[in-house]
């Protein structure tokens, strides 16, 4: 089977840095994606790692270690609007385009 584990909730204050971890077990692997979802809204794409290492996109960075089946999303200079749920998702399994989502991490940013 396939599983992706994330912490259920993380809290931080404005301006801080937070790291959301994701460990996965999948039968096939093409890459790890990260999505943000505000309550009642659609998931929005944040980043994608196909190879080991760090990808940086503005305040967000994502890291992947395929040998450890592990990745993380790093959010810097936190803002109140970053309060949302964050999901890691693996492309793989039986199809390149299919996404299997992690359990999700709810980030609460306080003033």
Partner 1 sequence: GAVVSQHPSRVICKSGTSVKIECRSLDFQATTMFWYRQFPKQSLMLMATSNEGSKATYEQGVEKDKFLINHASLTLSTLTVTSAHPEDSSFYICSAYHLAGGNNEQFFGPGTRLTVL
Binding residues vs partner 1 (CB under 8 A): 33, 35, 40-45, 48, 87, 95, 97-104, 106
Q: Least Å distance between CB 100 and partner 1?
A: 7
Q: Is the CB of 65 or the CB of 103 nearer to partner 1? A: 103
Report the C-alpha dihedral over residues 48, 69, 3, 107, rounded to 10 degrees: -60
Burial class (CB in 10 A: 0-12, 13-18, 19+), 47: buried
Min CB(42)–partner 1 separation in Å: 4
Q: How far is the CB of 90 from partner 1 (least distance, A)?
A: 11
Looking at beta carbons only, is 14 or 56 nearer to partner 1?
A: 56
Determine contact, residues 87/70, Cβ cutoff 8 Å: no
């Amino acid at each position: 089977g396939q599983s992706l584990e994330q912490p259920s909730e993380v809290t931080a204050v404005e301006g801080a840095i937070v790291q959301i971890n994701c460990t996965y077990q999948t039968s096939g692997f093409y890459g790890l994606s990260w999505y943000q979802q505000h309550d009642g809204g659609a998931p929005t794409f944040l980043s994608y790692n196909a190879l080991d290492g760090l990808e940086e996109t503005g305040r967000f960075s994502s890291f992947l270690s395929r040998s450890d089946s592990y990745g993380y999303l790093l959010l810097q200079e936190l803002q109140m609007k970053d309060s949302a749920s964050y999901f890691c998702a693996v492309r793989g399994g039986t199809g390149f385009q299919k996404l299997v989502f992690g359990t999700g991490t709810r980030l609460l940013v306080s003033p």
